Each structure stands twice: as structure tokens, then as C-alpha cells.
Amino acid sequence: MVTLRPSKPVAGSQILSYGAARGELVVTNDDIAGPIDSSDEWIRRRTGIVTRKRAGDGVHVIDLAEKASRDAIEKSGLNASDIDTVIVSTISFEYQTPSAATLLAARLGIEDAVAYDISAACAGFCYAVGQADALVRSSAAKNVLIVGAEKLSDLISPTDRSISFLLGDGAGAAIISASDEPKIGPTIWGSDGEHWDTIRMTHSLLDYRDKPELGFPTLEQDGRTVFRWAVWHTAEIVRKALDEAGLTVEDIDVFVPHQANMRIIDELAKQLKLPESVVIGRDIADTGNTSAASVPLAVHRLLDEGHAKSGDVCVQIGFGAGLAYACQIVVLP
């Protein structure tokens, strides 16, 4: 009987850097309030959003992903040639196949990369962290580029009152590599498929093919259901992640939840009884909800502006369509 030699595991993994790219257009609440019969005051009160960043017509998801990736690579101290795995989380790449990750690897000059996309919407970046952590610790990969990238403005109806006014465009990237000790805690992840259609497309691509009069499918949601689910479930997910990492809320320096709604962020902080010293990501105020890009964009901003620092213990959690969720504790680069 043949005995195969197993891969040699490593002690842990770490995030070397974050990178960011935001849409170049600043879209105010007044800019979008008319078609949804709303107002700046209503949008601020319900969501905490003052402006959102969106990309112009000539900018594509892959362009945002490339910009964020180059930023992360430059800050990591690695060369693009050092990366062997590329994972892109997106729901807004224009092609169902081939993947955005293979195109991104080619644009970055990464040859023979393991490259694939994942579709976990707003949980996507944290899903990618969980996968990259496992790949590195098992020695299946050495240096992994993960990217959450969205151009959600391509998928909205200007008259939709359920979600369109929330959404922005951007990409956040990170490089994950081996570490002498674990700097990424266990990922707590899963989904609540009974609420599969709570955040959804208006109809399928097949429906659009067969009945073009339906129009191109766009995003919509049951906002109240999403809000209640997030408020009641995500705090417990964070507690599980802390417990698995052997930490308590007193050990947290930085808290970055998915930038879905400022009221959800505030309620989570309240339920978790976070100490006043904890820095909370609130990038949604002027970037909007960028789905898979929201967590890395918020972390990048805190680091870039000096509100968070290297070595801080950060809780990051994504949750959204599916309803999928993922959370892990990381030590910031």
C-alpha cells in the first residue's frame, strides 16, 4: 500500500497589508432622493449615509480590483511574482465565466496562479480570509491575494427604495502569508438559507433572456427582515469568534462590521457592550455599502488615517445575501 507524504503545515497565517480603491464619483443623498421620493434627512436618519462613492461608466469591477491589489502588494513588501493564489469575492463582475480572479492575475503579471471567484456577497471578503488562512496554514499556498470588489451601481434601479440608495462602488484587498504564530483566528461562518431571497435580484438572467421586457435584473431587498436578522444574529456570531480565538470583548481594539447601515453598526456595538476605547469602522458614512469590499475598505481607512495601528486586535464580520455570514479576529498589519 502506498503512503502519500502530507503537506507540512505552518504555525499560522497573517495579513501583511490592506489595499483600497473607491469609485471616483461622490454621489450625495440629494442626487438620488428624487427618483425614490425621499430626502437627504430621511436617508441620513435611516442609514447614516451622507454620500456614497461610485465609479464612472468607463470603470469596471476588474479596474477597481486591480487598483486595490496593487496598493496591497506595494504595502506588503512582496512582489506580484511572490503571489501564488488569487481569490476575488464579487457579485458584480460582468461575466459569469471565466472568473475575475484569472483576469486579475494576468493584469498583475502573476503567472500560473491558483485563481478563482467566490460569491458570498457582503460576507465575501471574510469568507476569502477564512479560505486564505486555511490554504496558507496547510501549505497549499504561500502568499494569497484576496479581493472584495464591487461595482454595484451597475446592478441598481434608480427608483428602487429598498437598497439602491445604500450602494457604492469600490474594492478592498489584502495579502495573507505564513506567520510564526497565528494572527488570524478561527473563522466562524455559515448561512441562513431560509432567508435566501431576502436580498436578491429582481429576476433571473434566464427570465430576462426569455422576456426582455422585464428589463435587466437589479438588486432589491426586504430591508426590515435584513435589519432584524443582522441585529439579532450577528452579535452572537462575534461572541463565538471571540470564544474560539480565546479572547473577550476587553481584548478588542478595533471593530469592523460590514458597512450595511449605521444603525446596525451602532446596535451591534451596544449588544456586544464594546468598551469605549474600541475603534469602530464607520466608512459607510461617505463610501456607502460596497458589499464584499466594505470590510477591507473600512479597515484600510482606519489604518490609513491612524485611528487603528499595527498590532491592534480587530474583529471583522461580513453578513448579507444568502443570508451568508463570516467573522474572524485578526491582528492588524
| DSSP assignments along 63-107, one per residue | HHHHHHHHHHHHHHT--GGG--EEEEE-S--S-SSS-HHHHHHHH
- The catalytic position among 29, 126, 143, 258 is 258
Q: Count Cα neighbours of 242 within 13 Å in the Cβ-side half-sphere.
A: 20
Residue that the C-alpha cell 426590515 belongs to? 224
Q: Are 191 and 322 in contact (CB under 8 A)?
A: yes
- The catalytic position among 29, 122, 126, 327 is 122
Q: Which three cell numbers stand for residue 254?
A: 478595533
Amino acid present at 221: Q
Does the bond joining 182 to the residue before it have cis omega, within 30 degrees of 0?
no
Residue 189, Cα to own-chain centre: how many angstroms? 14
Q: Which three cell numbers stand for residue 210?
A: 426569455
- The catalytic position among 261, 289, 300, 314 is 289
314 counts as catalytic? no
Q: Are 190 and 21 in contact (CB under 8 A)?
A: no
Strands (E), 141-224: 143-151, 169-179, 188-191, 199-201, 219-221
For residues 317 and 165, give the distance between their C-alpha atoms in angstroms, rounded to a whole number. 22
For residues 199 and 20, give the distance between their C-alpha atoms in angstroms, rounded to a whole number. 25
Q: CB-based burial of residue 267 (10 Å sphere; 0-12 exposed, 13-18 middle, 19+ buried)? A: middle
Residue that the C-alpha cell 459569469 belongs to? 96
H-helix segments, the chain:
29-33, 40-47, 61-76, 100-108, 124-137, 205-210, 223-245, 262-272, 284-287, 294-304
- What backbone phi and psi angles, to 5 degrees, belong to 89? -105, 120
Q: Which residues carry out catalysis? A: 122, 258, 289
